[in-house]
Amino acid sequence: MDLELRHLKIVRAVAEAGSVTKAATHLGLAQPALTAQLKRIERVLGGALFDRDHNGARPTPLGELVLSRAMVLLPAARELQEEAVRFANNGGDIPSYRLGATNGPILGGLVDRLATAWPSSPVSTYTSWSARELTTMVMLGRLDFALIGACGESPPPTAGPVVWLTVGVDPIFVLLNEEHPLAVRKEVALAELSGEQWAGTPGDGCFGDCFATACARAGFTPQTIYETDVATCLHLAAVGRAAVLCKATFQPAPGVAMVPLADAPLHWRQLLGWHPEAPAARVAAAVAEQAKAAHADAVRRSTRYAAWLADNPRFGTAP
C-alpha cells in the first residue's frame, strides 16, 4: 500500500481529536474500521504513530514527524485543487498573483504595478525573513512568485524546479546617526567603522559570513552585531548605538544618514523566482518587467544611491 493524502487526513484527525474513537465519529467511520486503517498506515510508515491508552491517543516521535509533514502537504493539496478549479473556470488565465517576499524594496511597487496593469487579477502577499521558506512555498504551489535576496554571487537558497531571474544588484550602504563625524562623507571605507557596533535585519543566507569576511579584509573583527527588525535598527542608528547595514534603496528616517561604503565590499542581488511548470510561468516575463520597473523606482527615490550609480554603473536595475 502506498501512502495517500487520505491516510494523512486520518493521522491528522486522530491527533486533533486526541483519540481514535472521537476521530472515528468525526470522520463518520466505525471505530474498529478506523483502528484497522490506522494499523495499515503504521505498517507502511514503519512504526507506531500514536501511544494509545484509556486517556486517549498521543503522537509518538514518528507520529510528530508525520504530522509536521501533513500540516504542509494537506493545505498545499487543498490549495492546488482550489487553484486548479479557479484556473479552469477562468479560461486558462492566471486568476491571481500570490507574491512572497523577504525584506526588500520591490514588493510594494510590484503590488501597485500589477494592480494597475491587471486590475481584475487579485494580488495577495506573504512576507518572511526566510528565503528558503518562500522558495519551498513556490515549489509546493503555495506562491506564484517569490522576491528574495542573495548575498554577492551566492546561489538561491534551495535547489529545485524554481527559475530565478536577477531584478537588480544593489550595494550595501551604512546608516549612521546624522551627527556622526562620517555622516557627511561622500563615502566611507569599511575600516573607518571598525570601532562601531553593528545592526542588521535577520535572514537565512550567508550575509553574516560575507560581512565578517569583508571586515577581516579591512583589518578588523566587528564588535556586537544586533540582529533585529527594521524599526529597532533605525532607532539604534538614530541614537548612535550602532551602524546599520542596509540596501542602497533604503529610505532613511529622520535623524539618520545613509553613507555608501567605498569600493562596495558587499552587494545584494534582488531575485524573482517562479515554478517553470506552474500556470504563473506564462506571465513570468511580464511580472519580471514590472518587478524591474518597481526596482528602478526604488533606485530613483534613493537620491544618494542614484547619485552614486553615476560612478558605479555595474549596479542598479538589471537590463
Q: How do residues 21-63 score in pLDDT, each as one tens digit?
A: 999 888 888 989 989 999 999 998 999 999 998 888 999 999 9
Which H/E stretch holds residue 68?
helix 61-89
How far is it, in rounded angstroms, from Cα 240 to Cα 196?
A: 9
3-state secondary structure of 250: coil
How far is it, in rounded angstroms, from Cα 8 to Cα 45?
A: 11
How far is it, in rounded angstroms, from Cα 53 to Cα 40?
A: 19
Whole-prediction pTM: 0.69
**Which residue bears the cell 583589518?**
219
How far is it, in rounded angstroms, from Cα 215 to Cα 190?
A: 7
How far is it, in rounded angstroms, from Cα 230 to Cα 199?
A: 9
How far is it, in rounded angstroms, from Cα 289 to Cα 266?
A: 26
* Whole-number average pLDDT of the chain: 90
**Which residue bears the cell 511548470?**
277
Q: Domains plus CATH for the chain?
A: 5-84 (1.10.10.10), 93-319 (3.40.190.290)
Residues 218-240 have pLDDT tens digits of: 999 998 888 899 899 999 999 99
Among candidate residues 227, 189, 184, the one with its CA nearest the CA of residue 207? 227
Burial environment of residue 273 by CB neighbours within 10 A (0 to 12, 13 to 18, 19 or more): buried
Give the pLDDT of residue 88.
63
Distance of CA 51 to the CA centre of its chain: 37
Q: List the grid coordinates of 125.
A: 502577499
Q: List the grid coordinates of 74.
A: 494537506
Q: What residue ranges of the chain have pLDDT lower than 70?
A: 83, 85-95, 158-159
Give the pLDDT of residue 118.
84
164's CB contacts (< 8 A; 6+ apart) are 156, 271, 272, 273
Looking only at the bridges linking them, the beta strands covering 123-127 and 225-227 are unpaired
3-state secondary structure of 145: strand
N-term to C-term CA, the chain: 52
